[in-house]
Structure 1
């Protein structure tokens, strides 16, 4: 065989298999997973679970990087503008993907255009918590007091534009009451003031709320899901209380910047699917009150688009702003 022909065939073969080779070679260095909230909350726990299992599957480190600021905006925008090479990923949720487009008039990223979903792992409801010595034992009592005393009760959030902020603000708006919003930089500092009696209410993700409820440190007044939580079957849903026709469950998943090579996305989705199917992962998510999802590719994209369209429009209609 002439050497020129052999070289041509070798080049042709390498061109054919290069995507597979590239996928097998990825990742060849540590992968950064941006968590746009501080340690200790739902974003962080899901991010660390994904990072640990993806790292073990790939044999390469997946490192969580907490990048906070402006609710979830700073870290999410950083990921949107990162090189689309598969080495910077971000934890996406209802708050930074579906709520922010309605909260910010000039959002620096486009949730649908700038991100490609790898997969959605789990969804959680929220639990409305009251400080331990709050003289009300139901959401109805809270709303009755708030109507008689506008602006006197306060509610915490994990930051302007966070899921805790939007859900609570939507509830107060629909119930026609006025409460003072106290934003914090994450869930943990919010709990410090809730437990210290310096703020009255906090609508937090159910898994991070559960330990405080179980310990008797706070009162559970309502949950935001379509059904009651099996962790607290005696706590009614918001809709059940008659306060408002409102429900929200926050999904969490892994996203890559748009433009990430298809073979890298394929590798990430394959490993993500393996993680989501692990019995101990599903058990861990269920024990904390989550609903395992394992939505990949087009299925995940459809869920994301549905919630971006619905929640961004609702947030605008309610006049809720991040500031």
Structure 2
């Protein structure tokens, strides 16, 4: 855990100790919240180098989280129901909708039994390219390559990148520096650079996707299960705002068409890949609406307020972060206070 996450953890503990996560609800808590998850799987032995650990929560934590949500008197609802409640003029009970991005195998194996235990509906956002084994989990490729390589040496358009990667600490620093340097530039450069590292490390990108992501036959069976909805997560998981308008439009609209053809049922909701302001903005919000989606979700953090009824294709979500798997963190997130502070009281961020 880096300094930023240690500060976040301290803030969560302070909110719990002072009761701020309770007394702030009157002004900070919205009508509901959409939670974002990625991997749900049992904890492994402690690893010094785990740069994507924030994407992992354990089944035990998910179980505790859903139990706490129920104990607090909140409703666990589908994304369809969340939209209906958001559009109602009268406030009802606080609601929580659960969403899972990318279509990982562990969502079926480890998350679904917990969700079924609590009677919690959920939406799985699927990228057809992952089901086809043609898209890339590039953030995982980068982690696996750095895990293998003792030193990084890359020629990039903006200059050479070198870093020692012999120890876990060196690997963690190298990952962070290279990841954010690549994220700032064009996605083609990011993919090319990570391909280079994967080749050096002997990493097979297709094998990684096969290992991690659900195949079409399982998705077809899952799509008809009670309480399960399949949403679209673009065709190939690009950072849409980094591409031209036609590419972004095609990635959004054709993901709906492809999923509906494969699953033989309507696909009503969309999740923007990565989902931050640098990956999805007003252009993408319009494209999602024009593609016929009922709603589209970002990763911009925040609760749902009545004003979001006019911005259904720019909805915020709150991540259940694998680095903060505790009751204090969950209570703080459900209170809305961290986002009220972060957003300085602003309820809607759709720019």
Superposition TM-score, scaled by structure 2 size: 0.24
Please identify which structure carries the higher strand content: 1
User: Which has the bigger relative contact order, CA under 8 A and spacing at least 6?
Assistant: 1
